[in-house]
Amino acid sequence: MNRRCLLATLLMIPALIPSPAVAAPETGTRPSGDWTHVHGDAGRTGYQPVTGGLHRKNVGGLRDGWRVTGAPHGTLVAARGALYLPVSEGGSVRIRKLDARTGREMPFGVRARQWLGRPAAVDNTIVTVASDAPDRDEVRAYSADGVERWRAPVPGDEPADDLAVHGGLVYVGGGHTCRYTCAYTRLRAYRLSDGGLAWERDVVGDGQFEEPAVAGGTLVWPMRDGTGARTVAFDAATGSPRWGAPAGSVQDVVVTDDTVYAIEGGALCARTADGGGTRWCRDDLDHVSLALAPQRAAARDTPAVLYAGGGDTIRALDPADGSVLWSAPAGGDPRPLAAGGGLVFAQVWSPLETRIVALDAADGRVRYDRVLAREGIFGTVVPAYGRLFAVDPYEAVLALEP
Q: Where in the chain are the domains? A: 59-401
Name the strand (E) or helix (H) holding 242: strand 241-244
Q: Which residues contact 300 (CB under 8 A, 6 or more apart)?
A: none
Give the CB-side neighbour count of residue 42, counting CA atoms within 13 A: 24
Question: Cβ atoms within 10 A of the Cβ of 277, count?
Answer: 10
Length of the chain: 402
Q: What is the pLDDT of residue 29?
A: 43
Rounded Cα gap, residues 84 and 117, in angstroms = 12
229 φ/ψ angles, rounded to the nearest 5 degrees: -120, 155
The arrangement of strands across the sheet holding 77-79 comes to 77-79, 82-89, 92-99, 105-112
| Helix, strand, coil in percent for the chain, rounding step 5 | 0, 50, 45
Our measurement of the distance from residue 7's CA atom to the centroid of its chain's CA atoms, rounded to an integer in Å, reads 12
Q: Is 331 exposed, middle or buried (0-12, 13-18, 19+ CB in 10 A)?
A: middle
Rounded-to-integer distance, Cα 350 and Cα 345, Å: 16
Q: Within 13 Å and on the Cβ side, how many CA atoms surround 329? A: 1
Q: Report pLDDT for 116.
A: 83
DSSP characters over 349-363:
E-SS-EEEEEEETTT
60 CA to centre of own chain? 25
Strands 136-143 and 148-154 turn out to be antiparallel
What is the pLDDT at residue 24?
32
Q: Residue 270 pairs with which residues in a beta bridge?
A: 261, 280
Q: Give the residue among 179, 170, 162, 114 at the shortest CA–CA distance from 141.
A: 170
Closest C-alpha among 236, 235, 267 to residue 250? 267
Q: 87 burial class (0-12, 13-18, 19+ CB within 10 angstroms)? A: middle
CATH topology assigned to domain 59-401 = Methylamine Dehydrogenase; Chain H (2.130.10)
What is the pLDDT, as a whole number, of residue 222? 85
Q: Which residues contact 4 (CB under 8 A, 6 or more apart)?
A: none
What's the Rg (C-alpha) of the chain?
Answer: 19
Cα–Cα distance measured from residue 92 to residue 219, given in angstroms and rounded to the nearest whole number: 32
pLDDT tens by residue, the chain, 402 residues:
444 343 333 333 233 233 333 333 333 345 589 999 999 999 999 999 899 999 999 999 999 999 998 767 768 999 999 999 988 877 788 999 999 999 999 999 898 888 788 899 999 999 999 888 877 889 999 999 999 999 998 876 556 668 999 999 999 976 455 555 566 778 899 999 999 999 999 887 766 556 899 999 999 988 877 777 788 999 999 999 999 888 777 888 999 999 999 988 878 999 999 999 999 999 888 877 888 875 433 344 446 789 998 889 999 999 989 999 999 999 888 988 999 999 999 999 888 888 999 999 999 999 999 998 777 667 789 999 999 999 876 778 999 999
| Confidence (pLDDT) at 5 | 41
Which of 146, 154, 105 has the alpha carbon at shortest distance from 125?
146
User: Cis ω on the peptide bond leading into residue 336 (within 30° of 0)?
Assistant: yes
Residue 16 CA to chain centroid, in angstroms?
19
Distance CA 377, CA 392 (A): 7
Measured from the Cβ of residue 94, the count of other Cβ atoms closer than 10 Å reads 17
